[in-house]
Amino acid sequence: MIRHAISNLNGWLAILAIVLSSSAGDVLLSRAMKQIGDLGELRRKRGLGFVISRILRNRYFLMGVVCMAISFYSLLFGLSWNDVSLIGPAAASLTFVANAFAAKIFLHERVDHRRWAAALFVAAGVVLMAL
């Protein structure tokens, strides 16, 4: 009984950590990639080595990777306590919604009705698929 409660608590703590770190990482990586430009086009013009060096020198990319690493280890921690059928969909669906807010606030993306609907439909669909 107590073990089950601890398992659930640790699972939801992991989900919270995944959502926060993953959303921060997504926003930072998106900002980095917008600064760098279309990777396919850059690779054709300047070569793969140039693209890699440009990515690795971008500070938003480096901060994004740190956030993604925190998200990854939070996922491993969560999976060691609870099923992937809870951790995966719960974290993914909440991240969809959190990212829509974060993209609007920090990246100034025009999140119109279509994109809000897409984020909510996908989030709800992911939850239903896990039931």
In the complex, which residues of this chain contact another protein (CB under 8 A)?
10, 26-27, 29-30, 33-42, 45-46, 55, 68, 72-73, 75-77, 79-81, 83-84, 88, 92, 95-96, 99-100, 102-104, 107-112, 114-115, 117-122, 124-131
> Which phi and psi (to 5°) does residue 53 adopt?
-65, -35
Rounded to an integer, what distance in angstroms lies between the CA atom of residue 6 and that of residue 1? 9
Q: Which residue's CB is nearer to another protein, number 12 or number 72? A: 72
Shortest reach from residue 79's CB to another protein, in Å:
4
End-to-end CA distance of the chain: 22
Which are the contacts of 126, defined by CB distance < 8 A and separation ≥ 6? Answer: 89, 92, 93, 96
Rounded to an integer, what distance in angstroms lies between the CA atom of residue 61 and that of residue 54? 10
Shortest reach from residue 118's CB to another protein, in Å:
4
Shortest reach from residue 72's CB to another protein, in Å:
8
Cα separations in angstroms, 97 against 82, 88, 100, 104, 120: 22, 15, 5, 11, 7
Shortest reach from residue 38's CB to another protein, in Å:
5
